[in-house]
């Protein structure tokens, strides 16, 4: 479960994951360097500098202690105190405990070292004046306040290292982002070309980028050329078969027309018509894989074509107004027409509606026929599949390719064919969805 949760937290895209791979080492490196360098280097420098100043202060206190009283000692050591860059004077008030800022981390080492070196030190105040260190020292002649510049105890501006590290890290991260974007651009171009080919569109693509990406791009071009060649050969073959089969069928029809009318002649003529209808269905199924050039067409124009073919027998539902959509118009028209034919064959009413969204275009065909049970809907979209229990075969007279053709063309457009119950008409509702 933990492994699944960790995967869910990762970015989904390659760009985000690669950026995470670049950022994590930089952040971890900065944290490690900051902790190690600041804790070891600055702490050691602060301890050494504090010890040197504490020795000077102790020497100054020894000089003051040799005088008969505190005032005389301060007067005699004034020049010496000036040379040591410290000020001293008697005090009657002092803090109860050591004073230090919350974020003054070097002050921890400073206070501890002063107490170790100066036995007479009472309290250290680092909070009242951030630029000076105030040391309250007890002497036999009274308490003494000694002030020294803070810069003498620790390295000045230690935060500059952190600022420099963060700034350098940001600059290097930006450079890495630009480099990463250039490396991922060929992958995105390959992805767009593959996605367009899946929708039946031929997008110009030339391999570029790293060696591995070029190899993948070349493999994609070879695959695309091989698939297009197979589709073209399949279409040409079926077209030739159609031509060869129609010739004897035409001769049979001519021979039957010369025969006297009778039951046998009518039965043979009906068989020949069934053969021609099945042959047309096979060709439609083969043409569904043919590479047709994608065009920008409005749903209104496509619906108008279908209405011209079906006259008044087709009802029109809500037709969403939409701008031009990239599609293969002949293939989409043939698919929707197959759905309309099924609706008219198996029901008395057929209704066509269009629903448009920002990402998809949906053609909805409903009828009042017997419908298809939910358990058999996936099987109904397979080629040459006829559902005896779902539809009236005698009424339909098809070969089980209408739904298969529509499903294939929908997938080629990045969509799908969905079958469900019609809420309004009570029969089957077929949704032909294509991506925009």
Phi/psi-derived region of residue 381, left when phi > 0, alpha when psi is between -120 and 50, beta in every other case: alpha
Share of the chain above pLDDT 70, in %: 85
Average pLDDT for 256-272: 78
Q: Which domains does the chain have, with CATH numbers?
A: 2-156 (no CATH), 292-435 (3.30.565.10)
Residue 257 has pLDDT above 70, yes or no: yes
Spell out the residues 6+ positions from residue 254 whose beta carbon is closer than 8 angstroms to its own: none
CA angle 22–23–29, rounded 5-degree value: 100
DSSP 359-411: SEEEEEEEE-S----GGGHHHHTSTT---TTTS-HHHH---S-HHHHHHHHHH
pLDDT of res. 432: 93
The model's confidence at residue 8, banded by pLDDT at 50, 70 and 90, is low
What pLDDT is recorded for position 39? 66
Region 4-25 average pLDDT: 68
Give yes or no for a contact between 332 and 409, defined as CB atoms under 8 angstroms apart.
Answer: yes
- The top-scoring range by mean pLDDT among 246-255, 306-315, 334-343, 387-396 is 334-343
Q: Is the pLDDT of residue 433 over 60?
A: yes
Q: Is the pLDDT of residue 407 over 70?
A: yes
* 133, β-bridge pairs: 148
Residue 22 has pLDDT above 70, yes or no: yes
What's the chain's average pLDDT? 80
What is the rounded average pLDDT of the residues 269-278? 76
Q: Tell me the per-residue pLDDT of 188-235, one tens digit each, with 9 for 90 and over.
A: 888 888 877 776 667 788 888 878 888 888 998 898 888 878 777 777
Predicted pLDDT at 288? 55
**Model confidence, pTM:** 0.51
User: Is residue 97's pLDDT more than 50?
Assistant: yes
> b or e along 218-241 (b: 16 or more beta carbons within 10 Å of the residue's beta carbon)?
eebeeebeeeeeeeeeebeebeee
Cα separation, 260 vs 415, whole angstroms: 52
Max mean pLDDT among 237-246, 406-415, 427-436 falls in: 427-436
Q: Which residue has the higher pLDDT, 419 or 176?
A: 419
pLDDT of residue 287: 60
For residue 291, pLDDT over 60 is answered with no
């Amino acid at each position: 479960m933990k492994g699944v949760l960790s995967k869910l937290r990762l970015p989904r895209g390659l760009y985000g994951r690669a950026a995470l791979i670049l950022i994590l080492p930089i952040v971890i490196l900065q944290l490690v360097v900051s902790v190690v360098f600041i804790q070891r280097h600055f702490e050691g420098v602060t301890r050494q500098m504090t010890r040197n100043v504490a020795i000077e202060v102790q020497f100054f206190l020894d000089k003051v202690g040799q005088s008969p009283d505190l005032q005389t000692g301060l007067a005699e050591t004034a020049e010496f105190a000036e040379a040591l860059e410290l000020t001293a004077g008697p005090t009657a008030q002092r803090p109860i405990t050591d004073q230090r800022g919350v974020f003054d981390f070097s002050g921890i080492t400073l206070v501890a070292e002063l107490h170790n070196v100066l036995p007479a030190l009472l309290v250290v105040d680092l909070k009242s004046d951030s630029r000076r260190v105030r040391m309250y020292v007890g002497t036999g002649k009274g308490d003494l306040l000694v002030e020294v510049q803070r810069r003498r105890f620790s390295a000045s501006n230690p935060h500059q290292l952190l600022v420099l590290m963060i700034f350098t890290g940001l600059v290097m991260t930006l450079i890495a982002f630009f480099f990463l974007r250039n490396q991922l651009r060929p992958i995105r171009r390959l992805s767009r070309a593959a996605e367009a080919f899946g929708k039946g569109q031929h997008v110009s693509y030339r391999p570029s980028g790293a060696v591995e990406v070029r190899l993948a791009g070349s493999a994609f071009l070879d695959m695309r050329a091989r698939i297009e060649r197979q589709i073209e050969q399949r279409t040409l073959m079926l077209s030739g078969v159609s031509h060869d089969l129609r010739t004897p069928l035409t001769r049979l029809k001519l021979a039957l027309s010369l025969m006297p009318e009778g039951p046998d002649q009518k039965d043979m003529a009906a068989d020949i018509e069934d053969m021609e209808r099945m042959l047309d269905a096979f060709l439609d199924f083969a043409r569904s894989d043919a590479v047709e050039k994608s065009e920008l067409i409005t749903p209104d124009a496509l619906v108008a074509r279908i209405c011209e073919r079906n006259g008044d027998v087709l009802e029109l539902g809500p037709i969403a107004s939409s701008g031009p959509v990239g599609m293969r118009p002949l293939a989409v028209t043939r698919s929707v027409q197959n759905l309309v034919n099924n609706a008219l064959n198996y029901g008395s009413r057929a209704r066509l509606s269009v629903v448009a969204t920002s990402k998809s275009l949906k053609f909805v065909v409903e009828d009042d026929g017997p419908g298809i049970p939910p358990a058999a809907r996936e099987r109904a979209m397979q080629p040459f599949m006829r559902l005896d229990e779902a539809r009236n075969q005698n009424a339909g007279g098809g070969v089980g390719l209408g739904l298969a053709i529509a499903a294939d063309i929908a997938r080629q457009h990045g969509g799908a064919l969905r079958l469900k119950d019609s809420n309004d008409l009570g029969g089957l509702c077929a949704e032909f969805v294509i991506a925009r």
